[in-house]
Structure 1
């Protein structure tokens, strides 16, 4: 029973990693999922940026295996595992949800991000490469992805502004949240690195000068913060 959290983390990580094999590919919300179809929404990073999932999946698996093998009954790891398990449980069916409903996909991915950030805040700094780093990368990408989903869905329903307006909101929101998270715990440069990767992807997609410029400002701020944090690691 002492290893219950560790076992749950391993099982949920596996289901999360293999879930894409059991759903249709997701490349963005379809035209029929939104009243105002969003074709290549300006808040969405270039396709290559999503390759980061390979690193996230692999690192989470390594972390889960190491965790049950070496830290199965470690209270410090269990504090991280509790919210992480919720995030992974929400993430396992996310692709299927995204293919069915843009609104519910947005709600669920925000839940995934919130619990992933909670897990990062609780992650044991002593096991940085085994626990903190993979969770930080996962949480960082979800931070950006949550704003991408929100911006795409909100623009698709014509809320407040158009796709370009929501791109600016999303980039700004993701950057501010990333800064806030980095000040809530010990340094985790991998978290900001994942957000930076997403912002670079938005720049590469090249939707508009205003969007690219806003992304560049966010990148500059987060890079500066990461340099400072790396000195403290």
Structure 2
């Protein structure tokens, strides 16, 4: 089997992407050196434990790329996915380093990552779900949420019209609109929605305590129910079809 340059590049970039946290200063949010109005844990940002999903994403992307190189080295269906996925990974490798220096540039970059990952997800074939569709879906789902988290924190940090809570009210619905549009597409991996739900859960838990932002917590809960319904809709449709048949 011939192994394409893009297959090799996907594996190399997946490994580099996963290695980035080990060679970059820890990213703990945008600080006062980057933003005129420092953002200390804005409402749009999930609780810290939610970011642990990156460990699964890193590992699954490496396993996926390694399998693809070994067993799908020149598969045309995988090649369709590799193009946009390479864009997301290439932008992602330096993202942590950039995020520690420039919130504005990091926000632009994470939207590019999300766009590449979503484009890759929508090109995944029906086969190889666990080795391609689901890992790319988890990656794309988390980036969808993370991009709007970054937008909300950065916009509030530059004092653009609204404060941190106001930007949470703007960015959370926007994230839900994008996530719902993607999850509504036929055959989209449920891993995409699960990653979004994980982020929303982190936002809900963080904002639920008294004195936080209960309205944002409620909106996050409604978002969880919406995305869960979209994930379960194909299953419900199949069960109904069997019952009628």
- Superposed CA RMSD in Å reads 1.3
Show the 5 A alignment for 1:90-105. Answer: 90-105=91-106
Cα displacement string for residues 151-171 of structure 1 (whole angstroms, at most 9, x for unaligned residues): 000001111311101112221
For structure 1, the residue ranges without an aligned partner over 5 or more in a row are: none
Whether the 8 Å contact between 1:189 and 1:229 is mirrored in structure 2 is no
Which residue of the partner structure matches residue 82 of structure 1? 83
Larger Rg: 2
* Structure-2 separation of matches of 1:9 and 1:160: 41
Is 1:29 the equivalent of 2:24?
A: no
Show the 5 A alignment for 1:13-28. Answer: 13-28=14-29
Whether the 8 Å contact between 1:175 and 1:218 is mirrored in structure 2 is yes
User: For residues 51 and 159 of structure 1, do their structure 2 counterparts lie closer, same or farther at Cα, with a shift above 3 Å needed?
Assistant: same
Whether the 8 Å contact between 1:187 and 1:230 is mirrored in structure 2 is no
Which consecutive aligned stretches of 4+ in structure 1 deviate over 3 angstroms post-superposition?
A: 229-233
* Structure-2 separation of matches of 1:135 and 1:232: 25
Cα displacement string for residues 155-198 of structure 1 (whole angstroms, at most 9, x for unaligned residues): 01111311101112221111110111123342311101100100
* Structure-2 separation of matches of 1:88 and 1:187: 20
Which residue of the partner structure matches residue 230 of structure 2? 225
Which residue of the partner structure matches residue 209 of structure 1? 214
* Structure-2 separation of matches of 1:230 and 1:222: 14
> Which deviates the most, 112-121 or 172-181?
172-181
Cα displacement string for residues 12-65 of structure 1 (whole angstroms, at most 9, x for unaligned residues): 101100011111000100122111111111100000000000110111011011
* Structure-1 separation of matches of 2:31 and 2:234: 40
> Which deviates the most, 146-155 or 161-170?
161-170
For structure 2, the residue ranges without an aligned partner over 5 or more in a row are: 239-245
